[in-house]
Amino acid sequence: MALSRELISIERIFYEEAAETYPHGQAILARFPGAERIAVPSHWNIPELHGNAGSVEDWIRIKRSTLVLGVKKSLTMRPNGRSAHFIAPSTSNGCAMACAYCYVPRRKGFANPITLFVNTEKACAAIVRHAGRQGPLPEPDSVDPALWVYDIGENGDLSVDAAVFDGVRDVIHLFRDIPNAKASFATKAVNRDLLTYEPRGKTRIRFSLMPERIAKVVDVRTSPIPERIAAIDDFVGAGYEVHANFSPVIMYEGWEADWRDLFRQIDAALSPASKAQLRCEIIMLTHNAGLHEVNLGWHPRAEDLLWRPEIQEVKVSEGGQTNLRYRTRWKGRWLARFKDLLAAEMPYCTVRYAF
């Protein structure tokens, strides 16, 4: 286990009973023999965790010490077109980290520790079938010049999952043998065990990066920004494609100087090989009214950066939630300025998409 016990130290496991019948479920339970085990009817129906406002007070403890094991029911692929062509069935949901802007707790409730889906082989089989129906990528596009790209980590962080679950390695190995597709996932953690997985160029890791002084406030329990930057060369050398995920871009007094410094740090750290393959995505902050209330219960300092109604406007999501994003008129200007800064400091880093 390459990650710190401060991040993951499992003391309690909620599990669907069917999870015990799968090899991955058996292996995870065996890995934590001293953990309390609590059988539940559904990984989505754990009142002690989901929708329990009182759990805000124990936010970090639950993230560190609780694990949920479930069986994935839906195996559908969803079209994407931004970070990937398709969103693959998740092997996990939730996270041991606690980024203050994370969208997953908005949907799943207050405490949202790692849920691992132990029927990984069914997700893998669904991906193989889907990729087989696609044929070759018709033409290069903003997602990839040659292959269909499947995001395999939409609702969690696979670098952290890999510390307790061999299913991450299974999925990465799967894509080595799919001729017309590659995997992709974003991460805020450096787990050097992944360097041994031999992805053979068929997995894209997107390291999320932002100015360090802001990350110290909002990127709670993640790997430090300098550690993420320093890992890029190693992951490229191990056979991964490595991109940067500049996300979220948060507006505050002095943001331009901080991002300029970050771009210079990245430029100074990367080898020519890493620079040659580097691409990026830029995602401006979107916040959420419900998450704002949750954060006030455990991390109000983050809300000084995230909740800025004077420069944000309300947007109701497709799911009916009240989100805040930067006002359209200003957002366009700020995004253009961000791209100009990036082009001046890292002209080799093509922007794949920005919004």
β-bridge mates for residue 37, sequence order: 13
Query: Is 232 among the domain residues?
Result: yes
Query: Is 7 among the domain residues?
Result: no
Query: Is 248 among the domain residues?
Result: yes
**Per residue in 236-274, pLDDT tens?**
999 999 999 999 999 999 999 999 999 999 999 999 999
* Burial class of 319 by CB neighbour count within 10 A (0 to 12, 13 to 18, 19+): exposed
Query: Is 5 among the domain residues?
Result: no
Question: Domain count of the chain?
Answer: 1
d(CA 154, CA 147) in angstroms, rounded, equals: 19
pLDDT at res. 55 = 63
Query: Is 1 among the domain residues?
Result: no
Strands 241-249 and 203-209: parallel
Query: Is 336 among the domain residues?
Result: yes
For residue 302, pLDDT beyond 70: yes
Cβ neighbours of 159 (radius 10 Å): 27
Q: Which residue has the higher pLDDT, 217 or 294?
A: 217
d(CA 245, CA 243) in angstroms, rounded, equals: 7
Q: pTM here?
A: 0.95
pLDDT at res. 2 = 54
For residue 297, pLDDT beyond 90: no
Query: Is 285 among the domain residues?
Result: yes
CATH of the domain at 235: 3.80.30.30
Query: Which pair of tokens denotes residue 298?
Result: 């455990």
**Per residue in 277-296, pLDDT tens?**
999 999 999 998 888 988 88
Domain range for 212: 12-354
d(CA 208, CA 81) in angstroms, rounded, equals: 19
Query: Is 236 among the domain residues?
Result: yes
pLDDT at res. 20 = 97
What is the mean predicted confidence (pLDDT) over 40-48?
87
CA distances from 245 to 29, 60, 215, 280 (A): 34, 25, 13, 6
